[in-house]
Chain A
Amino acid sequence: MSAEIELSSILGRYTNKQLNIKVEGSTVGECLDDLFRQYPDLKKMLINSEGKLHRSYDIYINGASAYPMEMKKPVQDGDKLNIVFIIYGG
């Protein structure tokens, strides 16, 4: 499956400012693995020491929340994934 990941612009520093990235995978986890193959520096930002998505991030598939069990959620051809950093500033 081929999908597109759109990153929060906050993460652009780890991807040479690329915010829309094509990935391959049939689950969110596989798509993220492909993302990390392309941009290894992203992994330490998104994944915690237990290999899970860091709690400061949310993933949306075609605009709908993938929470909970994000990594196992299926991805269809042409899906769009958004990785969103939880922000709190005022």
Chain B
Amino acid sequence: MLSEREFKRYDRQIMIYGFGEEGQEKLKQAKAFIAGAGGLGSPAAIYLAAAGIGTIRIADHDTVELSNLNRQVLHRDEDIGSGKADSASAKLRKLNPDIRIESITDTITEANASRLVGDSDLIVDAMDNLPTRYLLNKTAIDKGIPFFHGAVYGFEGRAMTVIPGKSACLNCVYHGVTAPEEKFPVVGVTPAVIGSIQAAEVIKYLTGLGELLTNRLLNYDALSMKFTEFKVNRDPDCEHCGKL
């Protein structure tokens, strides 16, 4: 049941055709796990908090550094040295005190991934490395919850939504390929776009509106200012989802 304050707060989105009070209630009841409070996690978390996702659990093991601030817009100069999850949570609570924000400062590993995700309804993949992305992809599949992938490099970004058992997963698309962990180039506007797309996909999934970015890998190239869509298929031999 939405409060009078919530009706006022979310009035403009409740107005959207098909969204309504029912859609807002679905957002309120939802619990989102955001893996990473950096370039992608910042815009994704900001827009999910602003939209009224009832519980946001945001995880990051890192601390804020000066070199993060060109893109990780949840953090401020005075946050340098603070834990990213706590820094992000503090801003999100100020943005929307009507929702619950849970902060996790921990490294996501094979041993703890399932526990950290817990009873979340979905995972937003805002990580900065492929091994943890695969781990979260597998965790989402094991739990039967959707996985909202996003990645960036320079002026280029990608996004895809995974519905376990119904659409191609990250491992179907990338076949377990890993890349050496290196400092990657990026300008803030790229994760701003991709993180917002991930948040839009979450809102669409929860409200049941629109067409999800499933079996489609969306490529955003800001230099040519083009969105390109690639068709991807489930791999029946996928080690993550092939048996579903």
Co-assembled chains A and B: yes
* Chain A residues engaging chain B, CB cutoff 8 angstroms: 6, 8-10, 12, 19, 55-56, 58, 60, 63-65, 67, 82, 84-90
Interface residues of chain B: helix, strand, loop or mixed (majority): mixed
Smallest CB gap from B36: residue in A = A90
B186 within 8 A of A: yes
- Min Cβ gap B138→A in Å is 16
B175 and A67 within 8 A (CB):
yes
Q: A56-B177, A84-B219 are in contact. Are A89 and B230 (CB under 8 A)?
A: no
A86 and B177 within 8 A (CB):
yes
Q: Which A residues touch B155, using CB under 8 A?
A: 9
Q: Which B residues touch A65, using CB under 8 A?
A: 173, 230-233
A89 and B41 within 8 A (CB):
no
Q: Which A residues touch B36, using CB under 8 A?
A: 90
A9, A60, A64, A87 interface centre (most CB from chain B within 10 Å): A87
A-B contact pairs, 11 of them (CB 8 A): A8-B221, A9-B156, A55-B175, A58-B174, A86-B130, A88-B127, A89-B151, A89-B186, A90-B39, A90-B126, A90-B128
B151 and A10 within 8 A (CB):
no
B153 and A64 within 8 A (CB):
no
B 191-212 binary contact with A (CB < 8 Å = 1; else 0):
1000000000000000000000
B 202-237 binary contact with A (CB < 8 Å = 1; else 0):
000000000000000001010110001111110000
B38 within 8 A of A: yes
How many angstroms between the C-alpha atoms of A74 and B158 in the bound complex? 27
Q: Which A residues touch B129, using CB under 8 A?
A: 88
Number of A-B contacts (CB under 8 A): 80
Q: Which A residues touch B48, using CB under 8 A?
A: none
B residues 173-191 near A (Cβ < 8 Å) are 173-175, 177, 179, 184, 186, 191
How many angstroms between the C-alpha atoms of A19 and B221 in the bound complex? 12
B154 within 8 A of A: yes
How many angstroms between the C-alpha atoms of A69 and B223 in the bound complex? 31
- Min Cβ gap A6→B in Å is 8
B 120-163 binary contact with A (CB < 8 Å = 1; else 0):
00000011111001000000000000000011111111100000
How many angstroms between the C-alpha atoms of A67 and B230 in the bound complex? 12
Smallest CB gap from A65: residue in B = B232
- Residue from the list B158, B224, B230, B232 in contact with A87, Cβ < 8 A: B158
How many angstroms between the C-alpha atoms of A67 and B175 in the bound complex? 9
How many angstroms between the C-alpha atoms of A8 and B230 in the bound complex? 13
Q: Which B residues touch A82, using CB under 8 A?
A: 228, 230
